[in-house]
């Protein structure tokens, strides 16, 4: 409905400047509400003064809003019929600027419109074919059809096309793109609920270790997963008897434990990683986070901004090194698990590098950085979309929530409420096979969007 309102503003705008401004101010409201949690991360846990955090959050939203503004400006170049403008040109331009946001300056694909459709909307049925950006595209097409229904005399036509689009999505949801393999795996996802402001205090480390050891020992599951950096020590500093206890318990269960931990790797001048390691019945393995958060996990243009992290923000472990882009799935609990850490799962085309070999997806995160904001729910929606795109279960282990098991249709089968100390015990089914998105990634939807733009351009009135 709000997009249909934006289309009304775009059609009424007398110039490209006005269409750009309409898109920009729409984006300002969209991102101002959607990423308001940035303030919580900067002020509540990053130590930034409140006025500075407000300004930083506003500037972040203002920069992101440039892309809807760009879509509006570019739309102003088209002189098409209303029907072409809002069913082809506008949806394609929105999608391309959304995709651009997902990779420019390392990418921020949060708040892609397609996430709002998971898992129950019929449009979610297109996710295994076109991914989240394809669902975004069809969401904007639906808004265009709604606008035409409102503004055009031929309402039966536009309503019929919209119904056909959504029925098509419903039909696609009935297709099983992947196939189950083996028996369901018993899993335990641990939520330690360690407050962010005490997580890295040295005097709290032993207590944190004990919390997770107790949760792990209470589990009889073949696969036990800790959250991101659940162990607040470098691997080399963890007591050996602690690691031995974890390994022994996992072996007694006939499975493995997967735990998030910072890892120091003295290669060359030395480097440290945001890592996941395994212990238990399988050979010990490591996954190192590759897609890092700018200013949170590494400092862009480091020679020019060292003061930013150390004097403006107070973030521990602020200069991680990147893991390899192409890493193999972890072989644990009898399954092959495609791993991601924190917001790596927002990059669907990167996650599918581990597929179709992987039979399960897993994400470990420390969403305590977001506090009691909307971000953890948004992050869960992202995980649900990854399950839909790949046709596989997604296991989410988080520090403070939302810890959940998501099935291959993107539905949350069970979860732990936020801010509770608990373990989530359940089962996850492994799957094999490839969805079209796993095979082609974002290429299909990008070709579709450019084709829509080309068709729009060819119909322009000269």
Q: pLDDT, tens digit, for every residue of 369-397?
A: 888 899 999 999 999 999 999 999 999 99
Residue 136 CB burial class (10 angstroms; 0-12, 13-18, ≥19): buried
Mean residue pLDDT across the chain: 91
For 308-336, the pLDDT digits (tens) are: 555 555 555 557 788 999 999 999 999 99
Confidence of residue 218 (pLDDT cuts 50, 70, 90): very high
The more confident residue out of 367 and 253 is: 253
pLDDT > 70 fraction of the chain, expressed in percent and rounded: 93
Spot the catalytic one: 80, 173, 199, 228: 228
Stretch 175-183: mean pLDDT: 97
Strand 394-398, strand 223-225: pairing: unpaired
DSSP 8-state assignment for residue 395: E
User: Higher confidence at residue 196 or residue 270?
Assistant: 196
pLDDT tens across 80-127, in order? 888 998 999 999 999 999 999 998 878 899 999 999 999 999 999 999
The answer to whether the beta carbons of residues 406 and 393 sit under 8 Å apart is yes
Whole-number pLDDT of residue 45: 72
pLDDT over threshold 80, residue 406: yes
Which position among 80, 173, 289, 350 bears the catalytic label?
A: 289
Query: 3-class SS at 201?
Result: coil
The whole-number pLDDT of residue 296 equals 61
Instruction: With a cut of 90, say whether residue 58 has pLDDT above it.
Output: yes
Q: Which candidate in 342, 344, 350, 389 is catalytic?
A: 342
Omega of the bond prior to 356 within 30 degrees of 0, cis?
Answer: yes
State percent of the chain over pLDDT 90.
76
Q: Examine the residue annotation and report whether 289 is marked as an active-site residue of this protein.
A: yes
Q: State the pLDDT at residue 297.
A: 61
Of 449, 435, 438, 442, the C-alpha closest to 173 is 435
Q: Which of 37-41, 51-55, 311-315, 445-449 has the highest mean pLDDT?
A: 445-449
């Amino acid at each position: 409905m709000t997009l249909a309102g934006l289309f009304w503003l775009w059609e009424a705008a007398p110039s490209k400047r006005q269409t750009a401004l309409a898109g920009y101010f729409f984006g300002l409201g969209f991102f101002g509400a959607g990423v308001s949690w940035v303030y919580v991360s900067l002020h509540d846990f990053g130590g930034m003064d409140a006025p500075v955090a407000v300004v930083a959050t506003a500037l972040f939203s203002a920069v992101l809003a440039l892309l809807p503004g760009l879509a509006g400006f570019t739309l102003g170049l088209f002189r098409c019929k209303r029907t072409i403008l809002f069913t082809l040109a506008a949806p394609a331009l929105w999608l391309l600027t959304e995709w651009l946001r997902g990779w420019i300056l390392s990418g921020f694909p949060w708040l892609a419109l397609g996430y709002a459709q998971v898992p129950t909307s019929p449009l979610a049925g297109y996710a295994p074919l076109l991914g989240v950006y394809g669902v975004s595209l069809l969401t904007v097409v639906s808004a265009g059809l709604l606008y035409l229904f409102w503004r055009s005399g031929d309402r039966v036509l536009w309503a019929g096309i919209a119904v056909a689009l959504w029925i098509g999505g419903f039909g696609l949801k009935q297709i099983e793109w992947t196939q189950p393999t083996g028996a369901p795996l018993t899993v335990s996802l641990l939520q330690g609920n360690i407050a962010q402001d005490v997580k890295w205090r040295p005097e709290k480390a032993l207590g944190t270790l004990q919390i997770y050891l107790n949760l792990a020992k209470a589990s009889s599951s073949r696969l036990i997963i800790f959250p991101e950096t659940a162990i607040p020590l470098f691997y080399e500093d963890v007591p050996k008897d602690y690691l031995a206890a974890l390994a022994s318990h996992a072996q007694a269960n006939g499975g493995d434990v997967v735990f998030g931990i910072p890892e120091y790797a003295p290669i060359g001048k030395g480097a440290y990683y945001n890592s996941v390691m395994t212990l238990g019945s399988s050979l010990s393995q490591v996954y190192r986070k590759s897609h890092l958060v700018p200013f949170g996990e590494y400092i862009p243009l480091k020679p020019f901004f060292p003061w930013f992290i150390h004097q403006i923000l107070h973030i521990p472990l602020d200069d991680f090194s990147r893991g390899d882009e192409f890493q193999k799935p972890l072989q644990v609990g009898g399954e092959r698990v495609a791993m991601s850490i924190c917001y790596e799962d927002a990059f669907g085309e990167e996650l599918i590098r581990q597929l179709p070999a992987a039979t399960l997806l897993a994400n470990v995160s420390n969403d305590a950085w977001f506090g009691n904001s909307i971000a953890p729910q948004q992050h869960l929606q992202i995980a649900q979309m990854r399950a839909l795109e790949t046709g596989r279960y997604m296991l989410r282990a988080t520090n403070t929530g939302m810890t959940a098991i998501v099935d291959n249709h993107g539905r949350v089968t069970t979860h732990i409420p936020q801010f509770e100390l608990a373990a989530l015990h359940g089962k996850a089914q492994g799957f094999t096979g490839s969805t079209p998105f796993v095979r082609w990634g974002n290429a299909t939807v990008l070709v579709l969007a450019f084709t829509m733009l080309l068709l729009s351009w060819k119909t322009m009135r000269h």
